[in-house]
Structure 1
């Protein structure tokens, strides 16, 4: 079935979005939807019914972006009322994948009724087959790095660690890889993720059956991986959207933050944020705080209360509050991370290197210290620290934990004005920022991306 489209900016597309049921997927898909709607394209956004109210404020174009609610079927083993990965432990997320698969008839009915030109998806491995039957093009849209997709391969739990960690033929950047202590992150590919499917089988099918692959990146940071995937999936279009970060609003940092930060010298404060999805064990939480204390520098730490605690205050190490009073602040709620990174007093940012956060700090002037937690963050960190050399990674000990001494040492290293390593990191990051901050770069990527979609639709 061929769509009658002229290849120009007046050719408006209708795109259905069907992301994995996680806020780390809903939000990037919605950011892309906003960029596309800004150009006049129509979006039908499929998501669980209870999630819609939580995303409505992020919809910048409600006249063009329509939320279409899905009712999740009951799945034995899935916590009652669960509609996203929030509050669903990793070992139970296979049941959430079953619930997603259980919406297939609803998705088919919606696509049949709305007749979009394209459908974007990730975990729904059955979407391409369904789309093909309806004359709709399917685009596998990944919200995580091209690196993570470059390393996906067939894995079994019986494989030796060295075989699991072996890089695939032609892999472009051998410094961007997992460590032996992180083999579990690759063994996860062999874990069940749905009914009778492993995670690797689900993603591999999703990729292979698609009409095109799309990634939320710039060639300026992940070019070698984009080329590798193009070669690996020869004949399939590889489309890049850019990071699609929302436009920074003109809002100002609240007075409470400005007042506290203004007490300190420019570039002297260490800021730490791991995001709302990261919940540490109490001993890990306390060890991190002691690391900030040990650095001797002023610090602002924004972390979710650790497991078993309802507030950060009840989890503070004994005597900590008194010892750091006046130079250290620990906060347990949401913080305006992007605005804080722009405050002149912030000189160092300690984070997990999540994909969205990675783009934010690359556009900042802070020194970067990374403590990755999950598989995607590990590869992001190796790209930043080993390949691009714009950050340092805090090494984990034999127990896979971060020690206060190692954290303090990493912070002092990047904050030492006389350190050659600190100067190199700063210089490399400044050069990369200059490239990424060009006013029309994101615009160019979106325009090229739309052109690629239009070409795909008329094939």
Structure 2
């Protein structure tokens, strides 16, 4: 058989949100390095965020390209240029964006019919991708962006509904059927799971779950050694095909790629490294709450005061928007000046993987987004966990209860924005940060985290669990292709 026609061609369709796009583009690059022809489909504005990285991969011999199509902003009732969930600033804009995803189907379908790839890997929000793939007779794999543990917890919650059997928002219930005893309260789970009435969000969640169940299988940014019981549970108890191919952040080997992950440039890259180079190993805390969090001025002030009182060195990425755009008004007078040398503030996008990888970093205060969690684990650092929304309260249980490398800050209420919740007090923050950095318990957490970091790196090396999992998936897809030829 002619090798050219034998070459697998796979389409990748990432959700336009930083936490989804960054890992799926990394996975696409891994596929291309294994000799697959890869096409990433997105919009022009989103393409600009990773086009330099893709270009570098092409120069190194990868058969990877980007196809763009306009996002239907106008039809969806969005302002021009609102092509990413991170650009939405209200619930209405968010809902309009979700509606826009269904209008995205036609141009994608056209691309698929022209190119007829061998497989479509799409974010679950594009629930119509299952039907499009079925029409072409090709497998559709879904990429959720979460790990096995939160996927299993969410499935159990949706199936058994234990949260509907408790009498108050704060009463704890056990999520049934999981390998570990995991307790949560109603106030910690997403609003759309508590509300049995129909809404755009519940409708979307139902469509996502349906698409997941009817797709060929799942690709997960995780590694076997991190959550072995949940890899087995997902495959055996839930009967789903799944391949773990992570941590995908490790596909960036050089500093330029690490710094440009998800953003075309980082003004802070050299400044961060120069500053960290002057610090002792494991002596600095990195604080970052991802790209989507909205913090109130009151909450930012509590964090600032806790950091000042903690006596710890820190890098703090204030990437979130405050409610009244008072980006500097919340800051205690002379805060940056007073803490010069001990603290570094980053206002804007932070080169997170680059920072976490630095030997000076000794701990990570995180919102528990799956990417951040995995990047912290890969770097081998313990964490203070501060979940906010999405599936982050599920995720928190992994480092704090199962892996024992995390200290909860005490966040109790699920919310998109901290202005709608009572701020977590500086004393709580300071206690959690000190517990992560100082004393016998901190040492034990650090050594467990370092061991996990080594396992993470080994998983993606030749012969590692994630490398083998990716190869077995590609073999399966090649077999399907040759049998249908």
What is the TM-score when the length of structure 1 is the normalising length? 0.86
Alignment pair present for 1:206 and 2:197: no
> 1:21 and 1:250 mapped to 2: Cα distance?
24
> 1:259 and 1:132 mapped to 2: Cα distance?
52
> 1:148 and 1:345 mapped to 2: Cα distance?
30
> Where in structure 1 are there 5+ consecutive unaligned residues?
none
Alignment pair present for 1:244 and 2:248: yes
Please state how far the C-alpha of 1:53 moved relative to its aligned partner.
2.1
What is the aligned residue count?
Answer: 448
What CA deviation, in whole Å up to 9, does each residue of 1:350-376 have, x standing for no partner? Answer: 222222222222132433222122232
Alignment pair present for 1:58 and 2:53: yes
Alignment pair present for 1:91 and 2:91: yes
1:444 pairs with one of 458, 461, 468: 468
> 1:78 and 1:192 mapped to 2: Cα distance?
23
Q: Please tell me whether the aligned partners of residues 140 and 217 of structure 2 are also in contact (alpha carbons under 8 angstroms).
A: yes
Please state how far the C-alpha of 1:237 moved relative to its aligned partner.
2.2
Tell me the equivalent position of 1:403: 425
Tell me the equivalent position of 1:138: 140
Please state how far the C-alpha of 1:143 moved relative to its aligned partner.
1.5
> 1:353 and 1:173 mapped to 2: Cα distance?
19
> 1:335 and 1:406 mapped to 2: Cα distance?
25
Q: Please tell me whether the aligned partners of residues 396 and 403 of structure 1 are also in contact (alpha carbons under 8 angstroms).
A: no
> 1:104 and 1:258 mapped to 2: Cα distance?
43
Deviating more after overlay: 422-431 vs 255-264:
255-264
Tell me the equivalent position of 2:265: none
> 1:72 and 1:257 mapped to 2: Cα distance?
35
> Where in structure 2 are there 5+ consecutive unaligned residues?
260-267, 414-420
1:420 pairs with one of 418, 433, 440: 440
Alignment pair present for 1:69 and 2:68: yes
> 2:214 and 2:320 mapped to 1: Cα distance?
42
Alignment pair present for 1:102 and 2:103: yes
Please state how far the C-alpha of 1:219 moved relative to its aligned partner.
1.6
Tell me the equivalent position of 1:82: 82
Please state how far the C-alpha of 1:70 moved relative to its aligned partner.
2.3
Alignment pair present for 1:181 and 2:181: no
Tell me the equivalent position of 1:117: 118
- Alignment CA distance shift 1:356-1:456 (3 Å): farther
> Please, what is the CA RMSD of the aligned residues?
3.2
More helix by share: 2
> 2:32 and 2:400 mapped to 1: Cα distance?
36
What is the TM-score when the length of structure 2 is the normalising length? 0.82
Alignment pair present for 1:315 and 2:330: yes
> 1:174 and 1:425 mapped to 2: Cα distance?
21
Please state how far the C-alpha of 1:387 moved relative to its aligned partner.
0.5
Counterparts of 1:4-23 in structure 2, within 5 Å, are 12-23=7-18
DSSP 3-state at the match of 2:141: strand
DSSP 3-state at the match of 1:213: strand
Deviating more after overlay: 391-400 vs 101-110:
391-400
> 2:115 and 2:472 mapped to 1: Cα distance?
26
Please state how far the C-alpha of 1:31 moved relative to its aligned partner.
0.6
